[in-house]
Amino acid sequence: MRKLFTLFSIVLLLNIYAKADEGMWLLPLIQQLNIEKMQQMGCELSAEEIYSINKTSMKDAIVIFGRGCTGEVISDKGLVLTNHHCGYGAIQQHSTPEQDYLKDGFWAMSMQEEIPTPGLSVTFLVRIEDVTEKINSVLSDDMTESDRQEAAKKEGKTIADQATEGTHYSARVQDFYGDNKYYLLVYEKYTDVRMVGAPPSSIGKFGADTDNWMWPRHTGDFSIFRIYANKDNMPADYSEDNVPYNPKHHLPVSIKGIEQNDFAMILGYPGGTDRYMTSYEVEELIKINNTNRIYVRGIRQEMLLEDMLADDAVRIKYSSKYAGSANYWKNSIGMNKALKQLKVIDKKKANEDQFSAWLNEKPERKTQYVEALPLIQKAVKERKELTHANQYIYETMLRSIEIVDIAYDALDLYNVLNSENKDNLESTITELKEKAEKFYKNFNAPTDQKIAPVMLKIFAENVNSSYYPDIYNKIEGNYSNYVDKMFESSIFASQEKLFDFLGNPTLDILKNDMAFNASLSINAKNDELKEKLNEINSDFDKGNRLYIAGILEMNEGKAMYPDANFTMRMTYGEVLDYDPMDAVHYDYITTLKGVMEKEDPDNWEFVVPEKLKELYNNKDYGQYALKNGEMPIAFITTNDITGGNSGSPVINSKGELIGTAFDGNWESMSGDIFFEPELQRCINVDVRYTLFIIEKFAGAKRLIDEMTIIK
């Protein structure tokens, strides 16, 4: 029998007694679940000032920035603040060896100098609506798990279509709590977003890989963009006639500073957490997923960095790819260390024992939930080899051998050439050309040719031969020879070769191309593995749904939160120091003095710009200095965040911007799986450092002048 839960009954099982600053909360539930505690901690806002569908509220200043970050509107002219690493792809897009914005930074000194950035968008949340009853009306207990998911997906699309009919909005229905609840999310997307300002990487990425995920931190991780709209303030594609967007709400910016124990709130789009994860899954994560990622990416990144440091053109092409790879790579290293050190598997087992004991208290509970843990355990055990092989295909080939990626984009062309109907030939060629132009802009064939044989060999050495793509029959152990022939002969080795082919494409050339055949072979094996995994994971999905439903019932009456799934959430906490280990204490704030202490002109990660040193030596900080005369850079809070929160605003008790979230700390890298309140910290750029760099370092005071500054 399916059980419907009230919103108030929802709880996440971490350790049963969770602290107040833990949680990624759904905005419609703030009044019911959070606001009283927040106000006890010092918050002066009402729930409706944070989230309202009838009035302007704080949520109207928060955007999805691009496809995986958060940003906030900070002026009445559509100025958007986010992280430097969130704007990194756009900064790279506009960079060349002759005009290197990654290295030198960029500042538009007038609106006319702001750079259109094709492909970049920002998305506002319009509203969230609980549609669980509507979805549940098409579900039944006798459905298979895949049938349930398909029925929910179909009904969700109907609900989303009805919600947006006659509007320019988009919408989707998202599952929460392991398919136990469903919400409709309605969005408004703006596609004319222009680059306004970015510090040089020596500020925006100061410390680079070495300091990533570390505290103390001294990184000015911010960049500035502007939203443009048509004359009616509506979303519109780029046009010279577009004007700066007039937001419903923008965040005032406070330069009053922060103190220990100050209230701090974050609104943003956390990407994903797995805090319902069982001990079986944690073990799988440690031994397979993270371990494989650490090994493969570590090797590839070394090879990439070698080429990047040797050639500025290659550095620009691969900067964004390298940064993204290295970020997740180091995260996996830290996560494995923290999961083991904090004995998370033991804690998960204790939770499972408690769940089992609760089941045994009443026969009806066993009837309803007894399958939950056994189904999860069985699925994790059965998928072990498939998971390992599937991840190795992804890490060593699909994301590491780039020529295979662009070659697979020609599959639609192959299908058209292989059919009697050629009506779509011209449009298919045009679409492939558009993809190719974006691809080759950030592709260096010699680098890919160097990496590919190493990746193919690593796969063969670490995966059972029964999972090899059939190209291994042609490689016959001579990886370099195979790859050299591929790059020598393939039409995908360069944009020039591909475009020459597209001038008069033929089926024979395409179907005999080595890169195209490699892409078909690799993707066919990947699809085969995924299909087998999907069969096993049907049991896993059912077990997971039942387990979470049981946890909700077991903890009925406790106010908690769902896992993150890149929907807008609120988290609240306080500015707070911490003790990471015996005899070590970390303060809650860092200053420019720390940059100078870390400076190393011979290490690209710790180079300091001359202008910044000059400002430091002269103590020329303007109105942004601390009371003791030092220049603040970053601070930490107890806010519960994860990937996707990058760029999120850190907001004080009055609703004013005090910083921008950009990282978590090394000691709590297990946080996506298990929140550790004594260690978990959110690392933020102090907004005073952001404004100092804009005004004093860049001389772009015009941007300060359009903000609402609270002194």
**3-state SS record for 591-608:** EHHHHHHHCCCCCHHHCC
Q: How many CB atoms lie within 10 A of CB 438?
A: 13
User: What CA–CA distances, in Å, run from 231 to 187, 241, 242?
Assistant: 20, 8, 6
Q: How buried is residue 353: exposed, middle or buried, by Cβ count under 10 Å (0-12/13-18/19+)?
A: exposed
208: left (phi over 0), alpha (psi -120 to 50) or beta: left
CA 167 – CA 374 distance, rounded (Å): 46
If one counts every other C-beta atom within 10 angstroms of the C-beta of residue 506, the result is 10
Q: What DSSP element (H or E) covers 19?
A: none
Contact (CB, 8 A) for 60 and 76: no
Which residues, 6+ apart, have CB-to-CB distance to 332 below 8 Å?
Answer: 289, 290, 293, 294
The residue behind tokens 């298979």 is: 144
The contacts of residue 473 (CB under 8 Å, 6+ apart) are none
- Please indicate whether residue 484 is annotated as part of the active site: no
Q: DSSP letter at 401?
A: -
Measured between alpha carbons, how far is 620 from 239 in angstroms, rounded to an integer?
40
In whole angstroms, what separates CA 711 from the centre of its chain? 33
Helices 384-393 and 291-310 cross at an angle (nearest 10°) of 10
Q: Which residues pair with 350 in a beta bridge?
A: none
Counting beta carbons within 10 angstroms of the beta carbon of residue 302, is it exposed (0 to 12), middle (13 to 18) or buried (19 or more)? Answer: exposed
**Catalytic pick among 221, 448, 539, 541:** 221
H-only helix segments in 463-574: 472-475, 479-489, 495-503, 507-511, 514-554
Q: Which residue is catalytic, options 325, 519, 538, 646?
A: 646
Considering 57, 60, 84, 85, which one is annotated as catalytic?
Answer: 85
Q: Are strands 223-229 and 79-82 parallel, antiparallel or unpaired?
A: antiparallel
| Nearest residue to 567 (alpha-carbon basis) of 22, 181, 24, 188 | 24
Task: Identify any residues that bridge with 265 across adjacent strands, giving them in sequence order.
Answer: 572, 651
Cis peptide, bond prior to residue 216, ω within 30 of zero = yes
To the query of whether residue 646 is one of the catalytic residues in this protein, the response is yes
Rounded to whole angstroms, how far apart are CA atoms 75 and 151? 44
The verdict on whether 221 is a catalytic residue reads yes
Catalytic residues: 85, 221, 646
